[in-house]
Homo-oligomer: A and B are copies of this chain.
């Protein structure tokens, strides 16, 4: 059974205090699938682009054994474009523009062969689209879901329906507080878990991440980095590393979920070291393994 990933595909303009790029490859399903590709396969991506989407991006994804049969290329239309500027404090960013283009009418059509995929990542898209995807699948075994403030504020009812059908929700701390209306993260996690997801992961940026489930909590710190060049896609890289690792060995014990959270953190740390998807394009398994060991040395004691 393959791993199915549904989300956005974008061309991003990104400015940080260090550099800027225009029309760089981006989008949640791109980051998720690239990160997952180091752990498992086959990976199928469902998404949409315009005919302006550069062929070299398609080639790069295919070189990572990512199956693009589910990629719709709309003739005469433009790819989703997003621009943002990060502040000196890279936790803060201003959106500069959002051109939905082909994404506005995106209607995810799951290829027949992917409908039986047991592992699915629902990237950060409208909850109604996430429901549409779930409704096309035959008895999914493990559903990982991302969302964001925008959907929590505007389409909370749809989101609540999604949450009843997911195994893992991955959100950041401010989204957890918004969704639960509770400032204390531990209480917030309890409230959100009661909405449906079997496991909850709260990402805390430079402070790491928390995994909640089975009445237990696991905390992983962020990797200590002196230079973060571009935070774009870090959360998606986390989701990809997390799900890719679980999909590879199919063991859903809490101990294995802990390891998956660490591999998610590993991929997020590589992601932010370079602009756009560059940090995820040319990794070796040894680099990934060594950083996993780095996380272990960082946080384990006896």
Whether the pair B219, A301 counts as a contact (CB closer than 8 A) is no
CB of A282 within 8 Å of the partner chain: no
Which of A66-74, A145-153, A179-187, A192-200 lies at the interface? A179-187
Cβ-defined contact, B218 with A224, below 8 A = no
Contacts of A227 in B (CB 8 A): 184
Residue of B nearest to A187 (CB): B226
A20 at the B interface (CB under 8 A): no
Instruction: Kindly identify, within residues 233 to 290 of chain A, every residue whose CB is under 8 Å from any CB belonging to chain B.
Output: 255, 258-259, 262
Q: Is there contact, CB below 8 Å, between B224 and A301?
A: no
Chain B hits for A258, CB < 8 A: 301
CA distance A255 to B226 in the complex (A): 24
Whether B183 contacts A218 by the Cβ 8 Å rule is no
Summarize A's interface: helix, strand, loop or mixed: mixed
Please tell me if the beta carbons of A300 and B299 are within 8 angstroms of each other in the complex: yes
> How many angstroms between the C-alpha atoms of A258 and B297 in the bound complex?
11
A302 interface residue (CB < 8 Å to B): yes
**Cross-interface CB contact of A299 among B186, B187, B206, B299, cutoff 8 Å:** B299
Which residues on B sit within 8 Å (CB–CB) of A185?
A: 206, 224
Within 8 A of B (CB), among A97-137: none
A301→B300 contact, CB < 8 A: yes
| Contacts A207-B204, A226-B187 given; does A218 touch B88 at CB 8 Å | no
Chain A residues engaging chain B, CB cutoff 8 angstroms? 88-89, 183-187, 204, 206-208, 210, 216-221, 224-227, 255, 258-259, 262, 296-302
